[in-house]
Amino acid sequence: MIRRMLLLSFFAALALAGCRGGTSTEPPLLVPSKWVDHFFLPVTNMNNQPKAKAQSQSHFWPDGRTARLPPEHTVARDALKADDAFYRGVDSAGKPVAQYPVELSEGLLARGQQRYNIYCAPCHDAVGTGKGIVPTKGWIPPPSFHDERILEFVPGQLFDVISHGVRTMPSYAKQISEGDRWAIVSYIQALQRSHHASLEDVPPELRNNLR
Ligand code: HEC
């Protein structure tokens, strides 16, 4: 009887020792994944989950690639950008457009002014003469928008400079959406016009106000 009780208390102590609630610094026991595969064990350890990681090898697809290519001619939603004039500033022959692919309005011009002052004025200055603050700190001075050469730019050419940059000027395609680029282009042309205006451009009733 005593022996049996001793045995019982021994196992009870053993069982209690298992519930001591302490933490362990040992790494958790893991069933190696090759055993899981090999013996079809229903244990996956949770941290060994069957999944396809990008760029990894696949034994499922015949081409051995995990990453699947989208079906041919797939276009992401809202990313077709088929309108060459609007998205690329060129006509069907690939030449820069001379006409705006957007409707000109006072609102567009105002938006253009605001975007211009943020993105272009630091280098090109507020009126486009190329005397912004950045060139005073060592950046290459940009040309004036009022030079003969740039006065002849059609809207598509100005759009192209914003989209792709030019020589030492970086592209602003990432920062400025196509719609905003056209707004800026219209504002630059307004600046150019303002520097080459004649008396005829002023409405007759306002001419007396000029000094
Ligand atoms: C970091 C300074 C900087 C900013 C910001 C900048 N530009 Fe320029 N830009 C330049 C420089 C420098 C040149 C001259 C590039 C060259 O000839 O090497 C230039 C040239 C140009 C030209 C003349 C291109 C030619 O063929 O000579 C246009 C047009 C122009 N920029 C438009 C813009 C517009 C529009 C923005 C705003 C979206 C803008 N730039 C923002 C520095 C800048």
Domain boundaries, the chain: 103-198
Can you tell me the distance from the alpha carbon of 4 to that of 159, in angstroms, rounded to the nearest whole number? Answer: 94
* Ligand 1 atom closest to Cα of residue 153: 29
Q: What is the Å distance from ligand 1's center to 171 Cα?
A: 9
Tell me the best of 123, 137, 147, 182 to mutate to test the pocket of ligand 1, counting ligand atoms within 8 Å of each CB and taking the most: 123
Of 12-16, 154-158, 162-166, minimum mean pLDDT range: 12-16
Q: Is residue 48's pLDDT more than 70?
A: no
Q: Which residues pair with 96 in a beta bridge?
A: 90
Tell me the best of 167, 169, 178 to mutate to test the pocket of ligand 1, counting ligand atoms within 8 Å of each CB and taking the most: 169
Q: How many CB atoms lie within 10 A of CB 100?
A: 19
Q: What is the mean pLDDT of residues 136-158?
A: 96
Q: What's the pTM value of the predicted model, to 2 decimals?
A: 0.73
pLDDT of residue 36: 73
pLDDT bracket for residue 27 (50, 70, 90): confident
Dihedral (Cα; 196, 200, 203, 209), 10-degree rounding: 80
Q: What is the mean pLDDT of residues 190-211?
A: 90
Is residue 135 within 8 Å of residue 82, measured between CB atoms? no
Residues with CB under 6 A from ligand 1: 119-120, 122-124, 134, 139-140, 142-143, 150, 158, 161-162, 166-169, 172, 176, 184, 188
Q: How far is CA 198 from the centre of its chain?
A: 43
User: Which amino acid is present at 115?
Assistant: R
* Ligand 1 atom closest to Cα of residue 175: 38
Tell the residue nearest (CA) to atom 19 of ligand 1.
142
Q: What is the mean pLDDT of residues 1-13?
A: 76
Q: Is residue 154's pLDDT more than 80?
A: yes
Can you tell me the distance from the alpha carbon of 94 to that of 98, in angstroms, rounded to the nearest whole number? Answer: 12
Q: What is the Å distance from ligand 1's center to 80 Cα?
A: 28
* Distances 173 to 129, 131, 142 between C-alpha atoms, Å: 22, 23, 19
pLDDT of residue 124: 98
Tell the residue nearest (CA) to atom 25 of ligand 1.
166
Report, in this order, helix, strand and coil percent for the chain, each rounded to 5: 45, 5, 55
Class level of CATH domain 103-198:
mainly alpha
Q: Which residues pair with 169 in a beta bridge?
A: 166
* Ligand 1 atom closest to Cα of residue 157: 29
Q: What is the Å distance from ligand 1's center to 124 Cα?
A: 7
Is residue 140 within 8 Å of residue 167, measured between CB atoms? no
Question: 182-185: long-range contacts at Cβ-Cβ below 8 A with a sequence spacing of 24 or more?
Answer: 182/86, 182/100, 182/101, 182/102, 182/108, 182/112, 182/155, 183/108, 183/109, 183/111, 183/112, 183/115, 184/112, 184/115, 184/116, 184/119, 184/120, 184/158, 185/100, 185/112, 185/155, 185/158, 185/159
Q: Is residue 125's pLDDT more than 70?
A: yes
Q: Is residue 19's pLDDT more than 70?
A: no
Q: What is the mean pLDDT of residues 177-200?
A: 95
Q: What is the Å distance from ligand 1's center to 164 Cα?
A: 10
* Distances 69 to 59, 73, 77, 130 between C-alpha atoms, Å: 16, 11, 16, 46
Mean pLDDT, the chain, integer: 89
